[in-house]
Amino acid sequence: MIEELNLEDWAWQLSTEVYRLNLYSHLTGQAELNRISVTEEELERAIRDSFTQVNEAAYREMVKLATEAALETYDRVVSSTIKRSRVRLRS
């Protein structure tokens, strides 16, 4: 049971970071391949700056895309781990 809780926490943490990176990339127009995180300050600045450059509809679309990417990441992490644990149980 503890292992399952850790998996869920890890999947949510990973998904959260994907959301933050994706939103930051959309807001700034910058996508760095090796970047693995965005600081609170960077994301806050990107959001604040976007209010003068992006209309509400575009901002909502960016949030939607970032959310979809995060949920897809969560699903992939959980599905992959479940498949691996089923294989281990069969062994």
DSSP the chain: -HHHHHHHHHHHHHHHHHHHHHHHHHHHS---TT-----HHHHHHHHHHHHHHS-HHHHHHHHHHHHHHHHHHHHHHHHHHHHHHHHHHH-
pTM of the model: 0.73
Q: pLDDT tens digits for 2-42? A: 455 577 788 888 899 999 999 999 899 888 888 888 999 99
Report pLDDT for 64. Answer: 93
